[in-house]
């Protein structure tokens, strides 16, 4: 190589090294920015602005900053219910806060328990003689659970407000599977375990309809009582009894119909609403934009007020979303991740533990992994309570069994003590295509499971026996935890779902109350007096960079998170239609995915979207058999 070539090679190497160094420096700086805490210096005198974009949740889903930036899109926004409640309770006595504003323009909904908690916190702000205002372009059931507690409810003049009540239709695939010659092999225990019905029937059984009807009826009664008590002038019977006549009475003007029925107080656009808030909380000295007012947003306010740190530590482990095997989450309850959090905290000198559950259940093996980790606290003499949020059904109840005391709300959905598995085989499909299966077996289980040739009778029996054994284990756990005879547990199990009130009556729940009540009880059991303890949330991230990532993504022309365009009924209908594809994909994935034995409440209202667990060797006998057949 010539001298010039050698020099050129050296220069290219230096250039490549500098590029790598600058890239490394860039990503280090980016990580530092994204990991930074919100700036508490942004809080100022005026209104507290709570922008409830997206969903109100128990635990926010994890957000990969690099993936979001590279894909130039952000997932649906989420807000923790307890963050909103904490901010509202602090604002009630904070002299800097003159009013509270909840922007529901892009609010998508939340669980009935969470929304009731936020409503109660709004009541406490109003009791401190501070106005609470909401604004939206559309109000539906979940919106009204919050708005009913406001002192002023504003609706855009071209907006809509409707209350439809609980209820939904499931998709049933038995007819489609028959046409495709797919054999959905259903294994279950529980007369009311309706989770498998979509694969074996074309409609709901009478038993499932009666059970779900009782649940929805109880939730609807709680909803009506909550909204009517908070907003007596709301003509709920008129709005829900004959909606067509109600709308026609206002000449088809849905916004005016909502005002006339007491659903909202005032009609106005965002600028008019902002002018009203400015009258109450003060004008924004830094902006002349129409509708601006002095305000501090939720993130900055939470950073400013901080968290209590004095006294004994009461740990809180959150089990939110579907329970799956592995390290998934937050927002999904990965069994290994949660068990590791619990085991790591065993040496953190916790005085007590509260298990906060907001889950429809899922994998039996993951549920048992979490239950064992919680039981290790009981074995050390540490007091343990369970606090049920919107749902603690099936596997969600399984993980609650180690608790000494179980708290739930009347609107909590729990029970669903039953297990199932669905395994598709394709022998009929293959035969239609001219494909057959044959071979030699030394035992009845040789070559099984065979998804093309079908299962042998011995294989079918083994599958059902596994399900029956798991159900027996479930009953035994509940029997021991609740001090009930197994026969009594079996009578209230069988896959039946219960509202919190009925669950308390039949002994599955000890007392009504939310997370504060569960924490107070646990602290008392630990010997800590009021003011001498604080909650420690296991696995909680120190910083919240979610909003910063969203600003980075959207400022570069990326896609915003999908949000409901709730300006009229047609937009609402379009949003429902767009979710149909996601429902289909979720249901098909549930049939074809190798998930093992499931303690999952598919029929529970407001179930979360299915998230694929991490790849790898699955746990659970059924999942293991399927994995062995395909590897």
Active-site residues, by number, are 193, 394
- Coil, strand or helix: which one is 169? coil
Asked if residues 16 and 246 have their Cβ atoms less than 8 Å apart, the reply is no
Residue 413 Cα distances to 138, 385, 409, 494, angstroms: 27, 18, 9, 15
Task: List 267's β-bridge partners, or say none.
Answer: 155
Q: In terms of Cα–Cα distance, which of 309, 478, 314 is closest to 385?
A: 314
CB of 88 closer than 8 Å to CB of 122: yes
List C-alpha distances in Å: 173 to 183, 203, 470. Answer: 11, 9, 26
Phi and psi of 79, rounded to 5°?
A: -130, 130
Give the residue from 100, 91, 90, 63 showing the smallest Cα distance to 78: 63
CA distance 420 to 599: 7
- What letter does residue 449 receive in the DSSP assignment? S
The set of residues, in sequence order, having a beta carbon less than 8 Å from that of 200 and lying 6+ positions away, is 174, 184, 186
88 in helix, strand or coil?
helix
Contact (CB, 8 A) for 443 and 216: no
Task: Give the contacts of 2 (CB within 8 A, at least 6 positions apart).
Answer: none
Task: Give the strand pairing for 183-189 and 419-425.
Answer: antiparallel
Distance CA 513, CA 354 (A): 13
Query: Residue 390 in contact with residue 408, Cβ under 8 Å?
Result: no
CA dist., res. 71 & res. 68, Å (int): 5
Q: Classify strands 361-363 and 598-600 as parallel, antiparallel or unpaired.
A: antiparallel
Pairing, β 295-297 against β 183-189: unpaired
Is 507 in contact with 482 (CB distance < 8 Å)? yes
Tokens at residue 165, please? Answer: 């009540």
Give residues with Cβ within 8 angstroms of 517, minimum separation 6: 387, 407, 511
Distance of CA 133 to the CA centre of its chain: 26
Instruction: List 416's β-bridge partners, or say none.
Output: none
* 183 Cβ contact partners less than 8 Å away, ≥ 6 residues apart: 177, 424, 425, 426, 427, 428, 454
The answer to whether 199 and 173 have CB atoms below 8 angstroms apart is yes
Q: Which of 496, 400, 421 is nearest to 465 (CA)?
A: 421
Contact 613, 328 (CB under 8 A): yes
Q: Are 412 and 219 in contact (CB under 8 A)?
A: no
């Amino acid at each position: 190589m010539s001298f010039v070539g050698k020099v050129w090679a050296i220069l290219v190497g230096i250039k490549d090294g500098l590029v790598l160094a600058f890239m490394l420096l860039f990503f280090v700086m980016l990580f530092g920015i994204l990991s930074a805490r919100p700036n508490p210096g942004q809080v100022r005198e005026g209104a507290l602005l709570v922008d409830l974009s997206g969903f109100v949740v128990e635990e926010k889903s994890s957000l990969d900053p690099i993936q979001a930036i590279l894909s130039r899109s952000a997932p649906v926004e989420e807000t923790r219910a307890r963050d909103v409640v904490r901010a509202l309770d602090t604002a009630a006595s904070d002299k800097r806060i003159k009013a509270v504003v909840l922007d529901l323009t892009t609010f998508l909904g939340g669980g009935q328990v969470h929304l009731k908690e936020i409503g109660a916190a709004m009541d406490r702000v109003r009791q401190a003689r501070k106005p609470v205002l909401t604004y939206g372009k559309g109000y539906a059931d979940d919106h009204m659970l919050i708005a009913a507690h406001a002192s002023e409810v504003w609706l855009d003049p071209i907006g809509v407000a409707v209350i439809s009540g609980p209820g939904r239709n499931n998709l049933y695939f038995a007819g489609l599977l028959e046409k495709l010659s797919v054999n959905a092999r259903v294994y279950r225990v529980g007369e009311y375990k309706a989770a498998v019905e979509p694969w074996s029937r074309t409609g709901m059984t009478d038993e499932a309809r009666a059970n779900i009807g009782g649940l929805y009826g109880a939730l609807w009664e709680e909803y009506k009582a909550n909204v009517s008590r908070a907003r007596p002038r709301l003509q709920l019977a008129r709005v829900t009894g004959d909606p067509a006549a109600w709308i026609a009475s206002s000449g088809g003007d849905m916004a005016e119909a909502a005002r006339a029925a007491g659903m909202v107080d005032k009609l106005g656009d965002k600028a008019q609403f902002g002018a009203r808030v400015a009258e109450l909380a003060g004008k924004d000295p830094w902006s002349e934009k129409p509708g601006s007012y002095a305000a501090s947003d939720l993130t900055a306010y939470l950073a400013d007020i901080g968290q209590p740190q004095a006294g004994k530590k009461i740990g809180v482990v959150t089990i939110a979303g579907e329970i799956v095997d592995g390290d998934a989450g937050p927002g999904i309850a990965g069994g290994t991740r949660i068990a590791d959090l619990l085991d790591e905290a065993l040496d953190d000198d916790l005085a007590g533990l509260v298990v906060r559950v907001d889950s429809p259940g899922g994998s039996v093996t993951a549920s048992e992994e979490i239950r064992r980790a919680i039981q290790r606290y009981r074995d050390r003499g540490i007091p343990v309570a369970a606090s049920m949020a919107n749902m603690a059904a099936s596997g969600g109840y399984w993980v609650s069994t180690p608790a000494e005391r179980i708290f739930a709300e009347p609107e909590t959905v729990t029970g669903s003590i039953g297990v199932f598995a669905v395994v598709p085989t394709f022998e009929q499909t293959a035969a239609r295509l001219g494909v057959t299966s044959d071979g030699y077996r030394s035992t009845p289980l040789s070559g099984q499971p065979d998804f093309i040739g079908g299962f042998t009778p011995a294989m079918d029996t083994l599958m059902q026996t596994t399900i029956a054994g798991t159900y027996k284990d479930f009953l035994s756990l509940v029997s021991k935890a609740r001090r009930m005879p197994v026969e009594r547990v079996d009578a209230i199990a069988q896959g039946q779902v219960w509202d919190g009130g009925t669950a308390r009556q039949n002994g599955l729940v000890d007392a009504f109350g939310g997370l504060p009540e569960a924490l107070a009880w646990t602290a008392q059991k630990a010997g800590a007096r009021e003011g001498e303890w604080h909650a420690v949330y296991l696995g909680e991230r120190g910083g919240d960079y979610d909003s910063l990532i969203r600003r980075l993504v959207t400022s570069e022309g990326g896609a915003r998170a999908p949000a409901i365009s709730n300006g009229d009924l047609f937009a609402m209908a379009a949003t429902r239609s767009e979710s149909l594809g996601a429902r289909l994909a979720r249901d098909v994935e549930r049939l074809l995915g190798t998930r093992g034995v499931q303690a999952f409440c598919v029929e529970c209202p407001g179930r979360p979207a299915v998230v694929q667990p991490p790849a790898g060797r699955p746990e659970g006998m059924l999942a293991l058999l399927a994995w062995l057949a395909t590897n």
